[in-house]
């Protein structure tokens, strides 16, 4: 019997135990023997839970037990999750996690420690909930050069933007509904300000390019400023506004950013609605592939955690090569302004102003959403080039949205 421990018995931790119990026969067949949760580490007790007798309150009980070969960390937050992960790896125990904050902040260090101690550190559930995306990038697409990754990485913001588009509701009203339905936290800052998506795109960038950026330093714009004018422009163009995490290489540097993008109808990401996530990977041999599904939730995320558990335990006799990430230096990082794409500007002015802006930005699309307010979609150019072109006209933009073609 293979013994494991769960750190954190909240939504995902309890979901992981549920998946292991519900599918125990299938899991045993896959691993060659039964998988048993020997310990659950939590500050609380769970006397009414079937596994309540497994609860311990001291990590050292788990670290000192040689029977425990794997630890599933789902505590949330950086500390003490980081310290417990380091201790488990150094004790010769593999670790799987759903903790995007720890992976995006300390992933390079933790992968190195895992290599040094001949164990594994897996984190499929840290991005996209139940959507398989980490493993495909590491294995199925290993022979491809990743040209770019763009994705809806946060279900809360996608729910809000979908409702704003379909019902014409304002941000504050839809946010309250999302909170009432359990899609948004009481403090939704990490979601609506793009912090959650920033951590996830940093992880995807590290997988694609081997460089771990600081999630706090990348350009991050949330959705709190999205108004009826934004949705009116998207409607006119037949597209949608989505909060996108995007990464690509620009002149050898890694660009990563989070921002509301205007998505044309021809891009499959445009049609990912509600709480679902969609991650578009562009590879030089495969082309474009969309990974779509439930980006959060108890059982979808737990499913990804258990997938990592099975992968490690079913290959316990063979050592897997962990990816090598290095911490980004200033010269490794491209500014978000370096992104070359079409940009959609909303500008207040008269028809003559519209013609002037259209000519300056090389735009093919220009239309009024109401009297005295028009939008123009530029030709593909960098952010700096676009600003300079618009500045030369003497016009000022109410807002600018990058376009994800």
Q: Report d(CA 141, CA 391) in Å as an integer.
A: 42
Q: Report d(CA 334, CA 103) in Å as an integer.
A: 21
70 and 117 inside one domain: yes
Q: Is the peptide bond before 152 cis (omega within 30 degrees of 0)?
A: no
Q: Of 294, 314, 349, which residue sits at a domain end?
A: 294
Model confidence over 233-287: pLDDT tens digits? 999 999 999 999 999 999 999 999 999 999 999 999 999 999 999 999 999 999 9
Reported confidence tier of residue 316, pLDDT bands at 50, 70, 90: confident
Q: Report d(CA 18, CA 138) in Å as an integer.
A: 27
| pLDDT score recorded for residue 383 | 97
For the chain, helix (H) and strand (E) counts, in that order, are 14, 19
> What average pLDDT does range 144-172 have in this prediction?
97
* DSSP letter for each residue of 111-132: HHHHHHTT--EE-GGGSSTTS-
**CA torsion angle for 14, 17, 22, 23 (degrees, to 10)?**
140
Characterise 369 by phi-psi region: left (phi > 0), alpha (psi -120 to 50), beta (else): alpha
Contact 177, 166 (CB under 8 A): no
63 and 105 inside one domain: yes
Contact 192, 160 (CB under 8 A): yes
User: Where is average pLDDT lowest: 26-40, 49-63, 308-322, 366-380?
Assistant: 308-322
Pull the structure tokens for residue 148: 């770019």
CA torsion through residues 203, 263, 227, 389, sign: positive
The proportion of the chain whose per-residue pLDDT surpasses 90, expressed as a percent, equals 96
98 and 141 inside one domain: no
Which spans in 215-292 are helix H? 228-237
369 and 345 inside one domain: yes
- Residue 281: φ, ψ to 5°: -105, 130
Model confidence over 344-387: pLDDT tens digits? 999 999 999 999 999 999 998 999 999 999 999 999 999 999 99
Q: Is residue 319's pLDDT more than 90?
A: no
The answer to whether residue 332 is domain-embedded is no
The answer to whether residue 318 is domain-embedded is yes
Report, as residue numbers or ranges, the catalytic residues: 200
229 and 104 inside one domain: no
State the total domains in the chain.
Answer: 3
Model confidence over 118-138: pLDDT tens digits? 999 999 999 999 999 999 999
Contact 399, 374 (CB under 8 A): no
| pLDDT score recorded for residue 323 | 87
The answer to whether residue 335 is domain-embedded is no
* Residue 275 neighbours by CB distance under 10 Å: 21
Contact 219, 259 (CB under 8 A): yes
The answer to whether residue 206 is domain-embedded is yes
| pLDDT score recorded for residue 310 | 97
Residues contacting residue 321 through CB under 8 Å, at least 6 positions apart: none
The answer to whether residue 267 is domain-embedded is yes
Q: Report d(CA 194, CA 198) in Å as an integer.
A: 6
Give the DSSP H or E segment for 176.
helix 171-180
**What size, in residues, is the chain?**
405
The answer to whether residue 334 is domain-embedded is no
273 and 377 inside one domain: no
Q: Is residue 318's pLDDT more than 80?
A: no
Coil, strand or helix at 395? coil
171 and 285 inside one domain: yes
166 and 285 inside one domain: yes
| pLDDT score recorded for residue 93 | 98
25 and 67 inside one domain: yes
Q: Mean pLDDT, the chain, as a whole number?
A: 96
314: containing domain:
2-130+298-327
Which CATH number goes with the domain that contains 346?
Answer: 3.30.70.980
What's the gap between Cα 172 and its chain centre? 23
């Amino acid at each position: 019997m293979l013994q494991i421990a769960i750190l954190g018995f909240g939504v995902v931790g309890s979901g992981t135990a549920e998946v292991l119990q519900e599918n125990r026969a299938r899991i045993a067949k896959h691993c060659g023997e039964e998988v048993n949760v020997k310990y659950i580490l939590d500050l609380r007790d769970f006397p009414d839970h079937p596994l309540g007798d497994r609860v311990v309150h001291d990590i050292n009980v788990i670290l000192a037990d040689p029977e425990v070969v794997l630890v599933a960390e789902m505590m949330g937050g950086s500390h003490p999750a980081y310290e417990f992960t380091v201790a488990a790896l150094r004790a010769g125990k593999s670790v799987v996690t759903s903790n995007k904050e720890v992976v995006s902040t300390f992933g390079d260090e933790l992968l190195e420690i895992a290599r040094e101690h001949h164990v594994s550190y897996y984190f499929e559930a840290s991005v996209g909930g139940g959507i398989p995306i980490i493993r495909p990038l590491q294995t199925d697409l290993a022979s491809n050069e990743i040209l770019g990754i763009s994705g809806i990485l946060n279900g809360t913001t996608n729910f809000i933007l979908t409702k704003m588009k379909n019902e014409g509701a304002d941000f504050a009203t839809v946010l309250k509904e999302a909170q009432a339905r359990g899609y948004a936290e009481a403090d939704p800052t990490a979601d609506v300000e793009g912090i959650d998506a920033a951590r996830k795109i940093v992880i995807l960038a590290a997988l694609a390019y081997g460089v771990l950026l600081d999630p706090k330093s990348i350009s991050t714009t949330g959705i709190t400023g999205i108004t009826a004018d934004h949705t009116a422009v998207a409607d006119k163009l037949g597209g949608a506004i989505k909060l996108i995490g995007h990464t690509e290489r620009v002149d050898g540097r890694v660009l990563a950013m989070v921002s509301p993008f205007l998505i044309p109808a021809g891009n499959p990401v445009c049609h990912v609605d509600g709480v679902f996530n969609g991650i578009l990977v562009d590879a030089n041999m495969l082309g474009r592939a969309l990974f779509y599904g439930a980006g959060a939730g108890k059982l979808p995320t737990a499913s990804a955690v258990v997938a990592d558990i099975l992968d490690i335990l079913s290959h316990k006799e063979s050592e897997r090569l962990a990816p090598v990430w290095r911490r980004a230096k200033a010269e490794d990082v491209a500014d978000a302004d370096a992104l070359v794409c079409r940009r959609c500007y909303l500008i207040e002015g008269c028809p003559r102003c519209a013609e002037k802006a259209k000519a300056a930005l090389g735009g093919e699309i220009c239309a009024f959403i109401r009297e005295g307010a028009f939008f123009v979609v530029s030709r593909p150019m960098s952010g700096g080039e676009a600003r300079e072109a618009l500045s030369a006209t003497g016009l000022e933009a109410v807002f600018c949205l990058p376009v994800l073609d």
